[in-house]
Amino acid sequence: MTQQRITITDSTLRDGMHTVSHQFTPNDMAEIASALDQAGVDIIEIGHGDGLAGASYQYGFSQAADEDYVRAVCNVVKQAKVAVLLLPGIGTKRDLQIAADLGARAARIATHVTEADISEQHIKVSKDLGLFTVGFLMMAHMEEPNKLVEQAKKMESYGADVVYVTDSAGALLPDGVRARVSALREAVSIPVGFHAHNNLGVAVGNTLAALSEGAGYVDGSLRGMGAGAGNAQTEVMVAALHKAGFQTGTDLAKLIHAAEDVVAPKMTRPQIIDSVALILGYAGVYSSFFLHAKRAAERFGVDPLAILVELGKQRIVGGQEDQIIDVAYELSKKERVGALL
């Protein structure tokens, strides 16, 4: 039985913001963060679902400003590192500076799996600010392991402390996770992390697969909150890790309390694998397209599943949300033509 110590990052207050349409209040975040901190979680990621400066017409407006969230959480967290996410092209170096000034101690710099080169300046700024810095390679299912290795090495060369295989679409199965994590472990000298989405129902299994290949960092969210069908459910993931013999430094009973008594009452909808979330994983589409696709389907009177299948065929990725409207419109025209014929 292994005794490896695994670092746990909880994303309830960032990825989980998708579940509540980014409407957690600063007080909500402070209460949940305090519970996570008391449970011994290592890193607590917070903010808009699309990271710093994500609040917008395109991605959806959050209930409060980034600064309000960071300030509220940093005021109550005593042990964990408070982390923010930054997507180059959305967040800026100034946003990172403000977060650090307010008490954030970690930054996750996220790019599409083939675009690590755009992370260079942000990773270097993050390191200059003294932040623990994670390179986050999203949509990892879209490229083979050798391509991930090439991109991970870039992030390592820029100064990242950890590099992540990020299954943003929840499209990977355990063998695909093992192949990618093992390739990175052999190629880089920094630790490797794994971030799962549950669109195919295998988030916890995929996390265990990543750990079996030497990943040292894994992510979850309470009640599984997150884009699409959500993330690996933190309290379930930790229970599985403890049964497998991994050390996490977390108190499972306190995590269960945080999920049941603190988070669950604040959820606006259950986190389930519905038909739309399932097709996200099956078609390999970015999980944060979940609500966008549902809204576009209602607006144009088309099947949201058809939208997602077409997005998958076109290999649409994060940052191309405007294409969801285009696809829905084109599908509506086809359906109208079909009805006339």
CATH number of the domain to which 299 belongs:
1.10.8.60
Q: Residue 121: inside a domain, yes or no?
A: yes
CATH number of the domain to which 247 belongs:
3.20.20.70
Q: Residue 272: inside a domain, yes or no?
A: no
Q: Is 71 annotated as a binding residue?
A: no
Which letter does DSSP use for residue 161 in this model? S
Per-residue pLDDT tens for 93-107?
A: 999 999 999 999 999
Kindly indicate the confidence band of residue 26, based on its pLDDT and cuts at 50, 70 and 90: very high
Q: Is 197 annotated as a binding residue?
A: yes
Q: Is 195 annotated as a binding residue?
A: yes
Q: Give the pLDDT score at 279.
A: 82
Higher per-residue pLDDT: 332 or 54: 54
> Could you tell me which of 205, 209, 211, 210 has the C-alpha nearest to residue 232?
205
Q: Give the pLDDT score at 335.
A: 56
Cα 321 → chain centroid: 17
Which of 266, 301, 326 lies at the terminal end of a domain, its last residue? 266
> Could you tell me which of 206, 277, 215, 222 has the C-alpha nearest to residue 246?
215
Q: Give the pLDDT score at 327.
A: 78
Q: Is 11 annotated as a binding residue?
A: no
For the chain, how many structural domains are there in total?
A: 2
Which residue has tokens 């084109």? 330
Higher per-residue pLDDT: 329 or 155: 155
Task: Return the H-helix or E-strand segment holding 86.
Answer: strand 81-86
305 in the same domain as 206: no
Give the max Cα distance, the chain. 66
* Tally of CA atoms within 13 A in the half-sphere of 181 that contains its CB: 28
DSSP letter string over 214-269?
T--EEEEBGGG-SSTT-B-BHHHHHHHHHHTT-B----HHHHHHIIIIIIGGG-SS
Q: Is 5 annotated as a binding residue?
A: no
List residues with catalytic annotation.
18
299 in the same domain as 244: no
Domain of residue 236 covers: 7-266
Per-residue pLDDT tens for 126-171?
A: 999 999 999 999 999 989 999 999 999 999 999 999 999 999 999 9
142 in the same domain as 93: yes
Which of 209, 236, 266 lies at the terminal end of a domain, its last residue? 266
> What is the pTM (predicted TM-score) of this model?
0.90
